[in-house]
Amino acid sequence: MLAVFAAHVVAHVVIGGVAEVLVVAAYAFPVVYAALEFGFRGSVATTGLVVVLTLPYVVDDALTGSRADFAGHLTELIVLIIVAPVVGIVVERERAARLAHEVAEVRYRALFAASGVPALVLDEAGRVLATGDDTGSSQLIEIGPGGDITPLTALEGPCTGRYRPGQRAALVSHDEGGNERSQISLLRLPRTAPASAADLEPVLPPIFAQFQKKTGIRAEATYKASAVLTTQILNGAPFDLFLSADLGYPKKLIAASIAESSAPITYAQGSLVLWTRDDSHLPPPSVALLRDPALRALAIANPRQAPYGRAAVSSLKSLKLYQELKPRIVTAENIGQAAQFVESGNADAGLLSYTSALTPTLSSIGSYFVIPRHLYPPIEQGAIVVKKSAHRTAAHKLLDFLLSPQIQAELAKGGLTPVHSR
C-alpha cells in the first residue's frame, strides 16, 4: 500500500496524465488482496485507507485540474468503495459455507460412528449438509425448498430422492444405486452433557453406555479438573449436569444461582492411593516409601483446582512430610494427568485416585497402597443439575441412574465408595 502511495505522489507531482490514472488503479490490488484474505472488514479498512490517501489529490484535481480528471478519479474511488465491500462479503459467505460443510462432515462421521448407519446432518439453520450411502461414504448435499436433494460433492452412486419436510434430522438408508430407502427421525433422541471430574473418566463410560441402552439418552461427557469445569459453567458452558470430585465446587455454583438445588447431591466418596510402576527402582508403595530418599519425583494433581490434589497435600502434611517432599512434587493439571506422569516414568510415584489405579493399564503395570482416610479430609463427590440446562429432565434421569443400587455397585468396583455403604 505504501509503495502504491509513493508511486501516486510521484505520478501526480511529476508525470501526471495516464501514468497517474494507472497508479490510482493500482490501489485496487491491496484492496482486493485484503478482501480475499480478511473478508469484509479487511476490504472496508483498506478501502478507507485508500480514500484517506487519495482524497487530497481528488480535491486538488477539483481545484486545479480539469473536470474530466476530477470526474475520472472520483468515479474510480466510488467504484472502489462499492465493489471492495461487496467482494469482502462474498468472500466471507463463501468461507462460512465452506466451514459449515467441513463441520457438517465431521458431525456426520461422528454420528455415523455412533449409530453405524448412514445419516443426514444439518447446520444451525436446519439445512441438511451431509449424508451418506450404505457403505458409509459421506457426501455434502443441499435440500431445496421443495425437498429436492442437490449433491454438492462428487460421490460414486450419489444419494438421490427427496427429504421429508418437518424432519430436521434423520437416519437414512439407501439401496445399492444410492437411492433413499427410508428415514428415521432423530429429532426426539434426547441427550445430556455432564461435566465430569477427571477421576471419573475411568469409571463412567461403561455406565453411560448402560444408561443409553436403558433410556435411549446419550450422555456426552467432558472430563476435566473440577475447578476448570466450575469456571466453564460459570462462564456459560452448555453443561446439563456437574459431577464434581468434591462438594465445594458445586456449592460455588449454588451460591451463584446456577444450580437447581439448594445443596449438592453426594453420589460417591473418593479414595487416595500411592501408585508406582512394578519396574520402578523403589520398594512397593507404602507410607514408608514417601520417606524414602530414593523417591525423586512425586506426582499429584494441582491442589488449587483438583480435590484429589488437596487430599494429597493434606495427607503429606498429616504425615509431616510435605515440606520435605515439596521440592520433589510434580504438579499435574488434574488427577488423570498425574496418572500419566507416573505411568510414563516422568514421576517415580503418584498420589492418585483409586479409580485411576484400578484402570486396566495402571493395574497391569503397577501396584498401589490405599492412603488411610484419617490422613486427609473426606473426598465427598457431589453433583448439581444446571438450572438453565435445555436437557434438565435427561440430566435428572442420569443422576438418578448413578444413585441406583446397581450403578452404585458399579462405582464401587471402579474405586469409589457408594453413598449408601459409608
Between CA 316 and CA 204 the distance in angstroms is 29
* Model pLDDT, residue 227: 92
As a 3-state breakdown, the chain gives helix, strand, coil percent values, each rounded to 5, of: 50, 20, 30
pLDDT tens-place string over residues 53-100: 666 666 666 666 666 666 666 676 676 677 777 777 887 777 776 666
Domain 272-370 superfamily per CATH: Periplasmic binding protein-like II (3.40.190.10)
Domain boundaries 191-269+379-418, corresponding CATH code:
3.40.190.10
Domain ranges of the chain: 2-95, 117-185, 191-269+379-418, 272-370
CB 57 within 8 A of CB 12: yes
pLDDT score recorded for residue 222: 93
CA distance 249 to 308: 13
List the one residue out of 192, 221, 235, 218 whose CA is nearest residue 336. Answer: 221
The residue among 191, 256, 181 whose CA lies nearest residue 219 is 191
Q: How far apart are CA 358 and CA 341, in angstroms?
A: 16
Please give the pLDDT value at position 103. Answer: 56
Q: How far apart, in whole angstroms, are the C-alpha atoms of residue 397 and residue 392?
A: 9
Neighbour count for residue 148 (Cβ, 10 Å): 12
Per-residue pLDDT of the chain (422 residues; tens, 9 = 90+): 444 334 444 444 444 444 444 445 555 667 667 667 777 777 777 777 767 766 666 666 666 666 666 666 667 667 667 777 777 788 777 777 666 655 555 554 554 444 443 444 444 444 444 444 333 334 444 444 444 555 544 433 334 333 343 333 444 444 455 554 444 333 334 678 999 999 999 999 999 989 988 887 888 899 999 999 999 999 999 899 999 999 999 999 999 999 999 999 999 999 999 999 999 989 999 999 999 999 999 999 999 989 999 999 999 999 999 999 999 999 999 999 999 999 999 999 999 999 999 999 999 999 999 999 999 999 999 999 999 898 899 999 999 999 999 999 999 999 999 986 44
d(CA 345, CA 334): 17
pLDDT at 82: 75
**C-alpha to C-alpha distance for 323 and 404, rounded to whole angstroms:** 43
Q: For 381, what's the count of Cα atoms within 13 Å in the CB-facing half-sphere?
A: 30
